[in-house]
């Protein structure tokens, strides 16, 4: 019996001595990870170095160096403010302008004549110079006479004077296709000369001897006072 008891005790001691090698201290757990019971800051790893997850693990959890570092989030690009571009001012629609001025034919022609005098040529030179720096569409010349003479004669005289002015402007470079010349004779009288005769009548009727020159366009600069009385 003594030898059996000794054997039993020897076997029990051997089991107690071996127990620490079989049963390790239980591992502590943090949320999603199994940690060492001796150091809760150290995760339990597999033989390949991977951390051991427990049933509470969810994607996105992190502990120690168990998961790959998240990719750096690029800082948002600074907002580039677009320059404020002001809308161009609307271009005004062209306005057709008619500039009409009245020329005394006494300054252009001798009485009862249709040949330009030097004074008339000088006045038309100024008109041609002003037209050269403008944009225009048409030039209309209408001649007028006083009532001395027959209606038919005065009609022809007014036409010849208007045509003489037109031809002079053409010679100064004004396009012929833009000029129209005509006459109205004695149809538009303005002077009141009742009881006048001879030289006095001729002088009194001077306002009726004139030519109307009208320049039509969108940017005319011809002065309405050029060559007027």
Q: pLDDT tens digits, residue range 128-180?
A: 888 887 788 899 999 999 999 999 999 999 999 999 999 999 999 999 999 99
Note down the domain range covering 55: 23-60
**Domain match, 175 and 125 both:** yes
To which residue do tokens 């090698």 refer? 21
Mean pLDDT of the chain: 78
**Domain match, 41 and 135 both:** no
Which of 15, 32, 60 is the last residue in one of the domains?
60
Task: Kindly state whether residue 181 falls inside one of the protein's structural domains.
Answer: yes
- DSSP single-letter state for residue 5: H
Task: Kindly state whether residue 225 falls inside one of the protein's structural domains.
Answer: no
For the domain that residue 208 is a member of, what is the CATH number? 3.30.1330.60
Task: Kindly state whether residue 75 falls inside one of the protein's structural domains.
Answer: no
**Domain match, 184 and 102 both:** yes
Asked if 209 and 105 touch (Cβ cutoff 8 Å), the reply is yes
Which of 14, 42, 60 is the last residue in one of the domains?
60
- Domains: count for the chain: 2
Cβ neighbours of 115 (radius 10 Å): 11
Distance from C-alpha of 131 to C-alpha of 168, rounded to nearest angstrom: 14
**Domain match, 101 and 29 both:** no
> pTM for the complete prediction?
0.53
Q: pLDDT tens digits, residue range 17-30?
A: 434 433 344 455 57
Q: pLDDT tens digits, residue range 81-131?
A: 888 888 887 776 666 667 777 888 888 888 888 999 998 899 899 888 888
Asked if 191 and 146 touch (Cβ cutoff 8 Å), the reply is yes
């Amino acid at each position: 019996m003594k030898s059996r008891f000794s054997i039993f005790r020897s076997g029990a001691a051997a089991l107690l001595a071996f127990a620490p090698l079989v049963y390790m201290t239980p591992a502590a757990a943090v949320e999603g990870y199994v940690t060492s019971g001796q150091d809760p800051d150290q995760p339990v790893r597999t033989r390949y170095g991977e951390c051991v997850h427990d049933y509470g693990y969810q994607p996105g959890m992190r502990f120690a160096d168990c998961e790959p570092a998240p990719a750096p989030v690029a800082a948002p690009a600074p907002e580039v403010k677009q320059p404020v571009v002001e809308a161009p001012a609307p271009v005004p629609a062209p306005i057709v302008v008619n500039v009409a001025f009245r020329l005394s034919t006494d300054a252009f022609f001798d009485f009862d004549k249709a040949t330009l005098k030097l004074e008339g040529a000088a006045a038309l030179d100024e008109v041609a110079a002003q037209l050269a720096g403008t944009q225009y569409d048409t030039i209309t010349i209408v001649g007028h006479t006083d009532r001395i003479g027959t209606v038919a004669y005065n009609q022809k005289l007014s036409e010849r004077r208007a045509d003489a002015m037109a031809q002079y402007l053409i010679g100064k470079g004004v396009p012929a296709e833009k000029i129209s010349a005509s006459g109205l004779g004695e149809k538009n009288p303005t002077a009141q000369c009742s009881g006048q005769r001879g030289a006095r009548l001729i002088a009194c009727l001077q306002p009726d001897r004139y030519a109307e020159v009208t320049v039509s366009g969108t940017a005319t600069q011809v002065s309405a006072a050029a060559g007027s009385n």
